[in-house]
Amino acid sequence: MRLAGQIKLGYYPTPPRVVDLIRERLEFAGPYAALDPCAGEGDALAQLCTGTERTLYGIEPEDNRAAAARENLDRVLHSTLEESRLSHCTWTLLYLNPPYDEEHEVRDEGEKRTTRKEIAFLNRTLPLLAPAGVLVFVVPAHIFTPEVRLFLSQKFDNLEIWHFPEPERSEYKQAVAIGTRSAEKRINPAVLQITDEPPLDKPRHTVPISLQDVKIFKSHAINPADLAQLARTSPLYRLFAGSAETRTQERRPPLALHAGHLSLLIASGAVDGLTGTGEERHVLRGKTTKYQKSVTEENYNAETGSTTKTTRTRDCYRVSVKLLRPTGQILELE
């Protein structure tokens, strides 16, 4: 299990002007849930959905960016996509601006295959998008090969792919794909070309209504800050940490001590001293004595008919307790 915040990835947020162009291509039917699985600081998704009735979800592994994303989005996992548990077919807007890099995979036969992280993230996140949900896919333009454009054309209706406008196009060399998830896979669709600007002759993409409270949105990664915050809500934590006043009060242990616990406490000297009341009042002193024990084993050799003896010595410990009663009587228990 990984501690969250240990992963460092490149950070390439979508320019705000491009986000505005994407927003112009979207319409919203009503309340919905949106997901950015590579949220960064959450600025792009928050800007894209401003003024709509929505709940924004994000996933970000880097410490500082995850903290910033919590200021912009409603719910954020300080984690990676791979270490997150997410409801499938749930979100009706998926904003995907994944890491730009190669990803190495190993087949069962041991043959190594290299794929792009952008495509790996697309394959991992498509099952999260609800039918008729809208995908916004922002990646370097060269990722939109004929094979990738064919793949998107098979799975999305009203698909459009266009370059960033200048000067962002020359600076970032990126492009945007927007499409509505089709209920069925298209057979032999036309391979869409990349245009230089958003196709204004095409209808806008309508983000459908969806439940805003997603059922499964959890992480397997352990975030120390989140863990500390959860611990403070624990009744056990409040019992033993408590306030300055309660910390000075005697508390019962969470579970009753059994004989083994008591003997260890006595032997260690943790409960030495005066204890008990009335006729049972006494002074208690625990002691641990080390001694050696020898064990002899006989081993018979069937081939030679001879017997050999092996003696092993091991360290042992004896716990004893002395009690002094008010009458002067001394008892020693082992």
- Ranked by mean pLDDT, the top range of 96-105, 186-195, 254-263 is 186-195
Domain residue ranges in the chain: 16-221, 223-254, 259-333
Strand pairing report for 91-96 and 330-333? unpaired
Share the mean pLDDT of the chain. 85
Q: Nearest 10 degrees: CA dihedral of 203, 204, 210, 212?
A: 180
Q: Which of the two residues, 276 and 212, has the higher pLDDT score?
A: 212
In the chain, % of residues over pLDDT 90: 51
Q: Among 170, 168, 180, which residue's Cα sits nearest to residue 206?
A: 180
Q: What is the pTM of this model?
A: 0.67
- Is it the case that residue 20 has pLDDT exceeding 50? yes
Q: Among 203, 185, 198, 210, which residue's Cα sits nearest to residue 55?
A: 210
Whether the Cβ atoms of residue 151 and residue 116 lie closer than 8 Å to each other: no
pLDDT of residue 36: 97
Annotate 236-255 with DSSP letters as a single string.
Answer: HHHHHT--TTGGGS----SS
pLDDT of residue 21: 97
Stretch 75-94: mean pLDDT: 94
- Lowest-confidence segment of 1-15, 136-150, 173-187, 282-296 by average pLDDT: 1-15
Instruction: Give the pair of three-digit tokens for residue 147.
Output: 């094979």
pLDDT of residue 101: 78
- Is it the case that residue 331 has pLDDT exceeding 70? yes
- Is it the case that residue 249 has pLDDT exceeding 80? no
Stretch 216-227: mean pLDDT: 80
Q: Which of the two residues, 299 and 94, has the higher pLDDT score?
A: 94
pLDDT of residue 1: 38
* Residues listed for the chain: 334
Residue type, 161: I
Q: SS3 sequence, 14-63?
A: CCHHHHHHHHHCEEECCCEEEEECCCCCCHHHHHHCCCCCEEEEEECCCH
Whether the Cβ atoms of residue 17 and residue 44 lie closer than 8 Å to each other: no
Whether the Cβ atoms of residue 103 and residue 120 lie closer than 8 Å to each other: yes
pLDDT of residue 110: 60
In the chain, % of residues over pLDDT 70: 87
Residue type, 300: Y
Provide the 10 A C-beta neighbour count for residue 146.
10
Instruction: Give the pair of three-digit tokens for residue 239.
Output: 């019992």
Residue type, 37: P
Stretch 90-96: mean pLDDT: 97
Fold of 16-221: Rossmann fold (3.40.50)
